[in-house]
Amino acid sequence: MVEQVNKEKFDELLKGDKPVVCDFFATWCGPCRMLAPVIDGLSQSFGDKAVFVKVDVDENAELSVRYGIMSIPLVAIFTNGELAAKSLGYISKTEAEKFLNDNL
């Protein structure tokens, strides 16, 4: 299962060597709940290439503002601490695999 992190832990992970794949979500968001098992599954296959985390946008509004997140779910890939790619809305496992393969 992908670890849910707060702003401090998220910022710490961005300083690491591995890319960070972050699922920005909210507990009340239906498409977010549908996407969660897809991301959990892919974290198993891609775990050697990146660190997978999830951030609740309601609990970490500062991160939403920092990255201009207006809609969720949003899966973002950060490389060297910078936002490198993002995918907005629910995506299937196949689409998510393609997104990760194209950007990791």
Question: Choosing from 2, 20, 22, 32, which is the catalytic residue?
Answer: 32
Which residues, in sequence order, are CB contacts of 19 under 8 Å at separation 6+?
49, 50, 51, 77, 78, 79, 84, 104
CA distance 10 to 22: 9
Catalytic: 29? yes
Answer yes or no: are the C-beta atoms of 104 and 84 closer than 8 Å: no
Catalytic: 22? no
Question: Choosing from 2, 13, 29, 91, which is the catalytic residue?
Answer: 29
* Catalytic center residues: 29, 32
